[in-house]
Amino acid sequence: MSGRRLLISYAHPDDESFGLGGLIAKYVAEGVDVYLICATNGDVGTVSPELLNGYETIAELRLSELRCASELLGFKQVFEFGYRDSGMMNCDDNNHESCLWKAPQEDVTRRVVDVIREVQPQVVITFNKYGGYGHPDHIAIQRATTEAFTLAGNASYVTSQRPYKPQKLYYSGISINMVRLWVGLTHFRGQDPRRLGNNKDINIQAILDNVEPIHARVSIKGYYDKWQQANACHKSQGGGGGGMMRNIPKFLRPTLASNQGFTRVFPTPTQNRIDEYDLFAGVTAAEISSTPERELMR
């Protein structure tokens, strides 16, 4: 099936690899044109000083890591919005005038609409309502993308691009069983699941409490190694260390991470159960055969 286009709208350099590396590798290998919006420069991320050798700023390092991952995964194009990272919820960085969390949602939405109209994806993916783990930048781009998905096809909403209506919108899902396992392991190690990470600002109990129903389960069997290679590009953020699976034997990881789940937002599911195994299921041939008006190199 030719002409398939997928747009992923995420917040930081590393979100694409840590969250969807296996899915991206799979669809690119199958001939899908995959595009990425990276809304911020990741400049508030915690970085070990030695990793900044050769880089003037954290943002420069993080964007360099994104380019490494992008080349490995094979994105058709990456759109960098350039907002400042907002940091974790309730920190001082949330109030910086240039951060994504403070940016007017209508402005961010308009930028997403322009990207949708330019690349004409049939399928759009963004974070769930909780932003995966409650990060304000994740929540901000999720809200803007969800609104943009509807506005992009509205002829009365005028931008520099012609109206285009994508067919499907998904929120990236989180395996409830994997999060339960993660919570269980933290209790076993005597840790507080509400205070994890280098800065004790990751609350995996809240992640579990905000898991949304899964409607699509896509097999990524055979793409685990590529996923881990892309993760390793983001060394400054712990990439290559195994993430939430670092305490699981390596030989078991590809099996436990053999599929990725998604919440289908549009078309609205009739019931909360898995009824798809391909995000392009039901995409019409007429839309698939169309091509973007132009390819902008940015």
- Show the domain range for 184: 176-211
Spatial contact of 95 and 86, defined as CB atoms under 8 Å apart = no
Total domains, the chain: 2
Rounded distance, CA 106 to CA 30, Å? 35
Residue 171 or residue 243, greater confidence: 171
Residue 196 or residue 54, greater confidence: 54
Q: Are residues 134 and 80 in the same domain?
A: yes
Q: pLDDT (tens digit, 9 = 90+) per residue, 113-137?
A: 999 999 999 999 999 999 998 999 9
Rounded distance, CA 74 to CA 177, Å? 30
Strands laid side by side in the 123-126 sheet: 77-83, 33-40, 5-10, 123-126, 168-172, 259-266, 216-219
pLDDT of residue 231: 94
Residue with tokens 């590393």: 14
Q: Is residue 93 part of a domain?
A: yes
* Contacts of 213 by beta carbon, 8 Å cutoff, 6+ apart: 263, 269, 272, 273
Q: Are residues 165 and 183 in the same domain?
A: no
Q: Is residue 298 part of a domain?
A: no
Residue with tokens 């994806």: 121
Q: Which two tokens stand for residue 241?
A: 């260390």
Q: What is the mean pLDDT of residues 1-17?
A: 92
Q: At what angle do helices 15-29 and 224-233 cross, to 10 degrees?
A: 140
> From the CB of residue 250, how many other CB atoms can be counted at a distance below 10 Å?
10
Q: Are residues 225 and 85 in the same domain?
A: yes
Q: Which of 190, 211, 232 is the last residue of a domain?
A: 211
Q: Are residues 113 and 217 in the same domain?
A: yes
Q: Are residues 111 and 203 in the same domain?
A: no
Q: How far is CA 161 from CA 97, 115, 164, in A?
A: 28, 9, 9
Terminal CA-to-CA distance of the chain, rounded, Å? Answer: 27
Spatial contact of 121 and 152, defined as CB atoms under 8 Å apart = no
Q: Is residue 140 part of a domain?
A: yes
Q: Are residues 139 and 160 in the same domain?
A: yes
Q: Is the pLDDT of residue 276 over 80?
A: yes
pLDDT of residue 295: 43
pLDDT of residue 250: 61
Q: Are residues 154 and 248 in the same domain?
A: yes
Q: Is the pLDDT of residue 99 over 80?
A: yes
Q: pLDDT (tens digit, 9 = 90+) per residue, 12-65?
A: 999 999 999 999 999 999 999 999 999 999 999 889 999 999 899 999 999 999
Share of the chain above pLDDT 70, in %: 88
pLDDT of residue 245: 53
| Per-residue pLDDT band at 195 (split at 50, 70, 90) | confident
Q: Is the pLDDT of residue 294 over 50?
A: no
- Closest alpha carbon to 119 in 268, 199, 256, 7: 7
Residue 279 or residue 186, greater confidence: 279
Rounded distance, CA 152 to CA 167, Å? 11
Indicate the pTM of the whole model. Answer: 0.89
Q: Are residues 97 and 205 in the same domain?
A: no
pLDDT of residue 172: 95
- Rounded to 5°, angle at Cα 68 from 66 and 70: 65
Rounded distance, CA 61 to CA 10, Å? 18
The CATH number covering residue 129 comes to: 3.40.50.10320
Q: What mean pLDDT is reported for the chain?
A: 89
Q: At what angle do helices 105-119 and 136-151 cross, to 10 degrees?
A: 60
Q: Is residue 294 part of a domain?
A: no
Rounded distance, CA 103 to CA 185, Å? 38
Q: Are residues 220 and 202 in the same domain?
A: no
Q: Are residues 145 and 200 in the same domain?
A: no
Q: What is the mean pLDDT of residues 271-289?
A: 84
Q: Which of 158, 190, 211 is the last residue of a domain?
A: 211
Q: Is residue 126 part of a domain?
A: yes
Q: Are residues 279 and 180 in the same domain?
A: no
Q: Is residue 264 part of a domain?
A: yes
pLDDT of residue 288: 52
Q: Which of 211, 234, 266 is the last residue of a domain?
A: 211
Q: Is residue 295 part of a domain?
A: no
Q: Is the pLDDT of residue 219 over 90?
A: yes
Residue 24 or residue 183, greater confidence: 24
Q: Which two tokens stand for residue 298?
A: 């940015």
Range in 4-8, 95-99, 131-135, 183-187 the model is least confident about: 183-187
Q: Is residue 10 part of a domain?
A: yes
| Per-residue pLDDT band at 240 (split at 50, 70, 90) | low
pLDDT of residue 46: 84
| Per-residue pLDDT band at 87 (split at 50, 70, 90) | very high
Q: Are residues 205 and 282 in the same domain?
A: no
